[in-house]
Amino acid sequence: MLFDAAGNPVASAYSEYPLYTLGEGMVEQDPEDWWKATCTTVRQTLKEAKISPGDIMAVGADGHFPGIVMVNKDGKPVRRSIIYSDMRGKKQTEQIFDAIGGEEVLKTIGLPKSFFPGLPVSKILWVRENQPELQRLTSRVLGTKDFLNFCMTGRAATDYVEAWWTGLVKVADYSWSDKMLDGLQIERGWFADILNPTDIVGEITREASRDTGLEENTPVVCGSVDGMCNVLGSGITEPKNTMDIGGSTEIIASLSKKRLPSSIGQSIFCWRHIDRQNWILYTSTATAAACLRWYRDQFADREEREADKLGMSVYQILDREAEQAGVGAGKLLFLPYLAGEYTPFFDLNASGVFMGITLDKERKHFVRAILEGVAYSLRHVIEAFSALDVETEKIMAGGGGSKSRLWNQIKADITGKPVQSTGVIETGCLGAAILAGIGVGKYRSYREAVDCTISVGEKFSPNAENHKSYSKLFQVYKETYDQLKATFAHLSMVTSTGLIP
């Protein structure tokens, strides 16, 4: 995306790339696909904007995390990237905790053991054990957006959030941990300098200029992980404002004036804000809009055909159906745990449930129940924040899910909090642009950047009567999980040959 200095989107482009699922929890992407997509979309964006590349002040990037890109001395990946959702490092997690000591790891790194199978440190050990020839070729280990910055500038660098989520950085000061690196015999030289997200990494090289169409020597600012950039792009500057990014998962964050523990439970995290005055309380659910996409793919053929005929999005058709179902979806409840759940409880055995199916239920009730189930999940997380004395008075809603006016209103009614849609849906892109602007001195601070760039959309106030009805159903929603928790665990043990004792 290209933004002007006032935060207005000027032009944008989109490109997909493959996801490789290899079984047994292995999920990869090819970094070369990211770079090809970057080159293609940057060129398309410049063409759409009809501006000279020389008019670009700076480039900023964000990316999913935690991921790992292992590159050779020529800067080329030695294998595909093992991304955040890949859980192959379970055995290596045990090796780490045995070698360093469980208490020492948790004290040093500040991340829960449950997340270590997905962290780069575990995956480095997996590669060492299973693909030693690739480890010998490795010269650098980079994060997702760090690889793009490397392609653009030729310099390896990372920011403190991305670095922390490698599992090799001290939470006390965000510096590389000699204790972890030496104790696990991991090469220190593989890892880049740790910068602030607003620091300049380098400039567009001649080769990158040829590939992207950007002008040579254009500054490239470090940027940060997608979670951080979404927080910045949503414009929350004070505590009691909570960000809700409705994507495949629901990313939820708020600000705290005081530093909370770096990890709370197994899925709520706290890290330093770039303004140095606040701390970011951050979490996500396992699935959100992915639940609606699943329904679309499996059951919405009729709606797809109608949408094509009318020239509309299928989601607009689904919204129209859900609106007809009314508050509470006819007492049909949906637990949105289609990939387990992370927050407010961590239960990878949990699965999706429709509760209350009766002969009078129609398609509209199921669509409405999905929208409401995701909103119940949001309320559940907000309650978890409140238990940490991080209150919510207003919700800033971004991401693809916020395009739905109905969904925004349902979230307001269920939580009892006003929902304000962000002026820019792609808050992660805007956050990266804000970091780039601060990095080259266009804005003197994050506060100034917000004042210059953040716009808001429509406000949705909670309906008191609807909130009262939803609050009763919310209690049933929570009770349903509590009563099914043991059943989920039991079900996860079922195999094709029966039950594992």
- Reported as a single tens digit per residue, the pLDDT across 245-287 is 998 889 999 999 999 999 998 899 999 999 988 999 999 999 9
Report helix, strand or coil for 264. strand
Alpha-carbon distance 397 to 377, whole Å? 15
pLDDT at 499: 53
HSE value, Cβ hemisphere, 13 Å, CA-based, for 232: 34
Predicted confidence at residue 497, as pLDDT, reads 46
Tokens 């880049």, located at residue? 192
Q: What is the pLDDT of residue 394?
A: 96
Note the pLDDT of residue 498. 55
Sole residue written with tokens 């270590």: 116
Spatial contact of 352 and 290, defined as CB atoms under 8 Å apart:
no
The DSSP element (H or E) to which 81 belongs, if any, is: strand 81-82
Strands (E), 290-399: 333-335, 353-355, 394-398
Stretches where the chain sits below pLDDT 70 are 495-501
| Alpha-helix residue ranges (DSSP H) falling in 90-184 | 90-100, 102-109, 120-130, 132-137, 144-153, 160-164, 178-183
Query: What are the structural domains of the chain?
Result: 2-217 (3.30.420.40), 234-287+383-426+456-460 (3.30.420.40), 289-376+464-499 (3.30.420.40)
With beta carbons less than 8 A apart as the criterion, state whether 233 and 428 touch: yes
DSSP state of 66: S
Q: d(Cα 183, Cα 171) in Å, to the nearest integer? A: 17
How high is the pLDDT of residue 247? 87
How many CB atoms are closer than 10 A to CB 203?
Answer: 20
What is residue 496's predicted lDDT score, i.e. its pLDDT?
42
**Helix, strand or coil for residue 14?**
coil
Rounded to two decimals, the pTM is: 0.91
Backbone angles phi, psi at 271, to 5 degrees: -140, 170
What number of other Cβ atoms are within 10 A of residue 47's Cβ? 12
Residue 84 buriedness (CB in 10 A; 0-12 / 13-18 / 19+):
buried
